[in-house]
Amino acid sequence: MPELPEVETTRRGIAPHIEGREVSEVIVRQPRLRVPVPVDLGERLVGARIGTLSRRAKYLLMPLSSGDAVGADPAGDTLAGGTLLWHLGMSGSLRIVRVGELPRKHDHIDVVLDGGAILRYHDPRRFGFVDWLVDSPERDPRLARLGPEPLSDAFDGERLFVLSRGRRVAVKPFLMDNAVVVGVGNIYASEALFMAGIDPRRAAGRISRERFDRLAAAAREVLAAAITQGGTTLRDFVGGTGEPGYFKQRLNVYGRHGQPCRRCGAELRLITLGQRASVYCSLCQT
């Protein structure tokens, strides 16, 4: 499943090719995604111009307006034509192709732009979706209850400490709770907990403020590094597969169970927390 750095890299990769462009045609080959494709998608998109693409958690927000008014709001707020909400689900991807490039299997939606480019949505499992934002991002039910972005000033150890008091839930699923902070998925939660030296099984309510400070800093560091490394894959969104996968980085624990810990050499252990596989070092993480 694409996590926050992958979605952010998608945003950065496609934004220069679509912002300010007018939609000339919409082709829907498969309307049965996790949320059915809106029946008025083509009607509302054709003739509209695309504003500043933004991201909230793992959602991409595409503001639209008609005529020359698009782009008048550089902050990317909802424009007169509404805002389209994209979610990549478990296997979805967006890439830029040229008009005339034949679709592959599972290429479900084309948004054809003036200038000869196509924004193409690919999703083998069809767990992603495209839908209209029903209200402002602060009030849309899919976004309203989301926690802060992990790289924003609103996320820190104090927030984790305050929200964790009295909680018996293990710290890893606590960190992955989108109401606590958005976008810290399985891979990056595992890596941040290793970096901070915290056992993923430990009850969130039993962790000190000092250790939460370290965990928040570690989460920020691992996500920022993934986004930075993702910058080298931006060419993948123009032609090619448009599927960067998880960035080629030196993972310390995720996917390495049974292998030696890079710090102490102990064998890394595999457990299940919140129905997710978790790998950790029993000596380095306490």
| Annotation: binding site for DNA | 106, 125, 167
Annotation says 3 is catalytic:
yes
In the block, residue with structure tokens 């299940």: 272
Handedness of CA 240, 243, 245, 248 (dihedral sign): positive
Q: Residue 98 half-sphere exposure, CB side, CA atoms within 13 Å?
A: 3
Annotation says 19 is catalytic:
no
119 in Cβ contact with 94 (< 8 Å) = yes
* Strand order across the beta sheet in which 93-98 lies: 23-28, 107-113, 117-122, 93-98
Handedness of CA 171, 173, 179, 182 (dihedral sign): positive
CA nearest 115: which of 212, 168, 166, 49? Answer: 49
Measure the CA–CA gap between 193 and 285, rounded to whole angstroms: 8
Annotation says 276 is catalytic:
yes
Which of 12, 34, 142, 276 is flagged as catalytic? 276
Measure the CA–CA gap between 158 and 165, rounded to whole angstroms: 11
Annotation says 25 is catalytic:
no
Which of 55, 56, 58, 211 is flagged as catalytic? 58
Q: Which residues are annotated as a binding site?
A: 106, 125, 167
Q: What is the DSSP letter of 170?
A: B
Tell me how far CA of residue 82 lies from CA of 3, 35, 61, 79, in angstroms.
26, 18, 10, 6
Exposure of 178 by Cβ count < 10 A (0-12 exposed, 13-18 middle, 19+ buried)?
middle
Q: Tell me the catalytic residues.
A: 2-3, 58, 276
